[in-house]
Amino acid sequence: MNIAEHFPALVIVIPLLFALITWLAGLINRAFCWVIALTITFLCFLMSFSILNTVMHTGRISYHMGAWEPPWGIEYAIDYLNGFVLVVVSFIAFIVTLYSRKSVGLEIDEEKSPAFYSLYMLLFTGLMGMTITGDIFNLYVFIEITSLSGYALIAIGRRRNSLMASFNYLILGTIAATFILIGIGYLYMVTGSLNMADLREKLPPLYHSRVVLTAFGFFTVGLSLKLALFPLHIWLPNAYTYAPSVVSAIMAATSTKVGAYAMLRILFTVFKVEFDLNVVPVTKILLVLSCIAIIAGSILAISQTNIKRMLAYSSVGQIGYIVLGTTMANQTAMTGSIIHILNHALMKGTLFLVAGCVVYKTGIEDISGLKGMGQKMPFSMAAFTVGALSMVGVPLTVGFISKWYLATGALKAGMWFILPIILISSLLSAIYFWRIIEGIYFAPAVSSQHSEVSTYRSLDHHNPHPVSRSRDDAPPGMLIPTLILAGLCIFFGIAAYIPVSVAEKAANMLLGGT
Amino acid sequence: MVEIVHSAAPLCAIGVSLVAVILMVISKGYPNLREFWTIGASILKFSIVVSMLPTILDGKVIEYSLYSILPGLDIKFRVDPMGIFFALTASFLWIITSFYSIGYMRALKEHAQTRYFSFFAIALSATMGVAFSANLFTTFLFYELITLSTFPLVAHTETPEAIKSSRRYIAYLLGTSIAFQLSAIFLTYNATGTLEFSNHGILAGKAPDMLLIIIFILFMAGITKAAMMPFHSWLPAAMVAPTPVSALLHAVAVVKTGVFVLLKVILFVFGVDLLSKLGVGTALAYFASFTIIVASFIALRQDNLKLRLAYSTISQLSYVVLAVALLTPGGITASIMHIIIHAFGKITLFFAAGAIYVATRKTNISELNGIGKQMPLTMAAFTIGVLSMIGVPPAAGFISKWYMISGSIEARQIPFIIVIAASTILNACYFLPIVYTAYFKRHDNEIYNEEWRMLNKGYGMINLNSEVRIKEAPPLMVVSLILTAIGTLVLFFWPSLFLELARMVVGVVI
């Protein structure tokens, strides 16, 4: 028996199991939690990588849970698309865990840290599960695991606002999950199957049945809520702003991406492209919504004064990009979408990690507080600059690659109006990021502002550092992960062929090729 | 078919100043060592460019493919006559500007000098990158790098005014390049499937005329570095930068990159034939004429010397555009020649403006009465620069005007001859008064002395120590500006090398 064959099960089972063990270990010594989380996420990253490698060589993997044959048993089906997403999610989770030790120490009460890591592992399990599963009911289960652990993680910080944010998210997340469950129920009602591949075969004759159409509607709305597609994004800004930095980073970088992945699965695997194009004009609806999301997200981001909230609104726009590429049913644009899952995870991950570094060092969350920070925290700010340039889409960064694919894809599909939308949004992001970069490097630090903008300082007993302009960057434990992500923003902007080769195959597969 | 030589020389020419940046940052505690790297890099860069010259004059082309990010997105360099022409100009003037910069920055005891010299070097790398790029993507890449690397130079003083101006600078340059130039690149790629420059253009027959015209307009609007109206106001804003930056970057490297890219697009993306067929060349020429005249009128009203020079630059850049838009051999020759001729003339004028500032802290023309007696060398060089701007022999400006007029005649476009004539008069109107002020108006001290004598007549008092004395800027600066002034004269008497290169370009594209 080869252990590698069981990796698909292990990437789920191990973190699930260790979610509990972490908590128990935390009762003995709280320091264990971080070590365990780090080891497990790293292990899952290696396994995901090996899975993707196998997929690239041998094609789709179908793993039968408990050796029950699909469509009766639960199937874990890994192809180019979710192999890719698995690697992205596990890698980001590993990097964020690496980063988390100091940041969690500051932002979360010490006695809660075992619970934090336990929930963190659960969130990770849920995200991996949503990605790997080939069964729609199993998908629902993992969505719930992700959401529930997400609500708790947002609320775990010390701030009162985070409770409100978490509660809002809870309400909307529950509606989303319910919608998805209803969709699943209807599909099961007419086909008697829960397996995605099986549904794909069984559904076409029923495409015009009202039940299927209703189910499809519930899926679309539910998933749009989950991935925060405009105008269903309202839970996201508060959640990202008030969550602890680590949670904002992992959620911004991965959980909306996995939501987008789930949307892709439903739209293009459970249903076929013909359905999306001919039966229900869903691609047109999503096209319009995503265009609005891109512009609205960027405009809203401009008016923010809190860094994390600005990044959150920017995420709303970026999610628009991911959805946009899928709606053109064109291979180039679809590649752009899939590659943007990785690219946005890298850029937004970098930016949120930097925001966390700043909070750790100074307690500042306000954009105006970043003035003169280029001298105080040169490495963090360099990472921020890379992330920001990437968001603007400067060549040689990952942002340019995404835009290149989306724009050329749109032109190939004959959708000219997409081009100005993409470019205007680049301009808008240039505005809201440039304002910060300029302040970082070209404005003197204003010390009097710090007392007003400090959010954590009053609560914070661990961090007696005075605010000054002398060099005082984040500790290496936070800086190194941040710089790794920033470095990858450039690396994959240059060596773009590595992710693109996978994304192209995935796009081809989704659009009904081989 | 042109013979292609594969060589990494263009990459070295680009890379040498990037390596120097690392050395500069390392040796930032030792100003002399740091400046040594700047000088060393500039000389080495120029030598590398010169070493490629014989190959190009043989009619060969040097190519180097660095890396392909994705199909269609290649970072590739090609050294052709036009590229080497621009590279020679920029890299040669960088050497002189480096000396000048050292004199200027030290005389004023400026802050953040390491940042200044580092970004200066990066900007020059990027300029070489544009000069040698073989496709639109590489061009765009280095075009953006120039914008980003010159931002810290414009914002150098970090005063609120500098921050405000640099914001305008970045908004215009980055904004239009993303909004218009990048969309033009996307549309070009979509129509042709390639971004590679080609001698007769790549767009001919690839798209409906209407779309071609749209692409053309997008390119023209997107290459804002050429400072055509209405996207010109970043250039006066950039004048808050230290004067060496205004001199090399905002009279030579940055703005010439603009017109250079514009020429590349006109000649190697669209092609002369296609543009004549579309008839947009003449429209562009009218636009350029508008800029020439209007910018000159605005220049008339500027009292700040650097601002007047900036508006003059806007006007002169449009000469380049006007000349190429004629789409005739004479016009193309004129536009290429004007790149170097204006570079030498305008850098001399800016150097002089900087020297005046360092020596006297004066920035306005109205304060320059009698400055010619105080700074004779500087003002002599300034006068040569002025003659070149107006186009009076024996300054090089005459050559480009000559070709421009012959180009207009070839194109049978009499209106443009009138434009050139009118703008020459305007040039004279806004430059000659400066020279007049400098030499023929009496220096404040002289007036003061006279009044003093009148007042004290008969009292036998000796006037105080206020004779007009020669007080030039530091020697490094004066030598630099004399060299560029001499360059302006040399270009008039021995323009053959550059004319030959220009002729090679004309031979290839027509």
SS3 of residue A385 by DSSP: helix
B186–A408 C-beta distance less than 8 A:
yes
DSSP assigned state of B67: E
B163–A442 C-beta distance less than 8 A:
yes
Nearest residue of chain A to residue B71 (CA atoms): A497
SS3 of residue B27 by DSSP: coil
Contact residues, chain B, for A500 at CB < 8 Å: 70
The values of phi and psi at residue B296, to 5°, are -65, -40
Q: How many CB atoms are located within 10 Å of the residue A444 CB?
A: 11
Task: Please give the pLDDT value at position B2.
Answer: 77
The values of phi and psi at residue A306, to 5°, are -95, 135
**Which position has the token pair 């790098």?**
B145
Q: How far apart are CA A365 and CA A392, in angstroms?
A: 22
SS3 of residue A338 by DSSP: helix
State CA A171 to chain mean position distance. 20
Q: Which of B237, B235, B231, B104 is nearest to B161 (CA)?
A: B237
Of B137, B178, B186, the CB nearest to A411: B186
Strands B4-6 and A75-78: unpaired
Q: What is the ipTM of this complex?
A: 0.85
B178–A426 C-beta distance less than 8 A:
yes
B170–A497 C-beta distance less than 8 A:
no
Q: Is residue B327 domain-resident? A: yes
Task: Please give the pLDDT value at position B507.
Answer: 87
Reported residue count of chain B is 510
Record the tokens describing residue B57, joined without a space.
């004059």
Q: How far apart are CA A457 and CA A445, in angstroms?
A: 18
Q: Is residue B475 domain-resident? A: yes
Q: How far apart are CA A134 and CA A62, in angstroms?
A: 9
Mutation target to probe the A interface, by most A beta carbons within 10 A, among B28, B66, B69 is B69
Q: How far is B152 from chain A (nearest CA, A)?
A: 8
Q: Is residue B283 domain-resident? A: yes
Mutation target to probe the A interface, by most A beta carbons within 10 A, among B183, B188, B194, B211 is B183
The values of phi and psi at residue B428, to 5°, are -60, -40
Q: How far apart are CA B318 and CA B286, in angstroms?
A: 10
Domain extent, residue B370, equals 279-510
The values of phi and psi at residue B6, to 5°, are -95, 125
Amino acid letter, A258: V
B123: Cα within 13 Å, side-chain hemisphere: 28
**Which position has the token pair 């500087």?**
B378
Q: How far is B18 from chain A (nearest CA, A)?
A: 17
Pick out chain B residues at pLDDT < 70: 1, 457-468
Domains: count for chain B? 1
A383, A483 in Cβ contact below 8 A? yes
SS3 of residue A76 by DSSP: strand
Q: How far apart are CA B411 and CA B389, in angstroms?
A: 24
Q: Is residue B199 domain-resident? A: no
DSSP codes joined into one string, A211-265 = HHHHHHHHHHHHHHHHTT-TTS-THHHHHHHHS-HHHHHHIIIIIHHHHHHHHHH
Q: What predicted TM-score, i.e. pTM, was given to this entire model? A: 0.89
pLDDT tens for chain A, 514 residues long, are: 578 888 988 999 999 999 999 889 888 888 888 999 999 999 999 999 999 999 989 888 888 888 888 778 888 989 999 899 999 999 999 999 999 888 888 888 888 888 999 999 999 999 999 999 989 999 999 999 999 999 999 998 888 888 999 999 999 999 999 999 999 999 999 998 899 988 988 888 888 888 999 999 999 999 999 888 888 888 899 899 999 999 999 999 998 899 999 999 998 888 888 887 788 888 888 999 999 999 999 999 999 999 999 999 999 999 999 999 988 888 899 999 999 999 999 999 999 999 999 988 888 888 888 888 888 888 999 999 999 999 998 888 999 999 999 999 999 888 888 999 999 999 999 988 988 888 888 876 554 444 444 444 444 444 444 445 677 888 888 999 999 999 999 999 999 889 999 999 999 888 876 4
A168, A175 in Cβ contact below 8 A? no
Q: How far is A401 from chain B (nearest CA, A)?
A: 9
The secondary structure element, H or E, covering residue A61 is strand A61-64
A441–B190 C-beta distance less than 8 A:
no
Nearest residue of chain B to residue A500 (CA atoms): B70
Give how far Cα B126 sits from Cα of A167, A212, A468, B256, Å: 51, 57, 35, 12
A132, A11 in Cβ contact below 8 A? yes
Beta bridge partners of A306: A366
SS3 of residue A328 by DSSP: coil
Contact residues, chain B, for A389 at CB < 8 Å: 148
Q: Which of A209, A301, A321 is nearest to A260 (CA)?
A: A321
- Beta-carbon contacts of A192 under 8 Å, excluding residues fewer than 6 positions away, are none
The values of phi and psi at residue A79, to 5°, are -120, -165
With 0-12 CB in 10 A as exposed, 13-18 as middle and 19+ as buried, what is B39? middle
B130, B142 in Cβ contact below 8 A? yes
SS3 of residue B76 by DSSP: strand
Task: Please give the pLDDT value at position A469.
Answer: 61
Give how far Cα B145 sits from Cα of B18, B26, B185, B254, Å: 12, 22, 17, 11
Give how far Cα A364 sits from Cα of A354, A444, A445, A472, Å: 12, 16, 12, 14
**Helix B475-493 / helix B81-107 crossing angle, nearest 10 deg:** 160
Q: How many CB atoms are located within 10 Å of the residue A498 CB?
A: 11
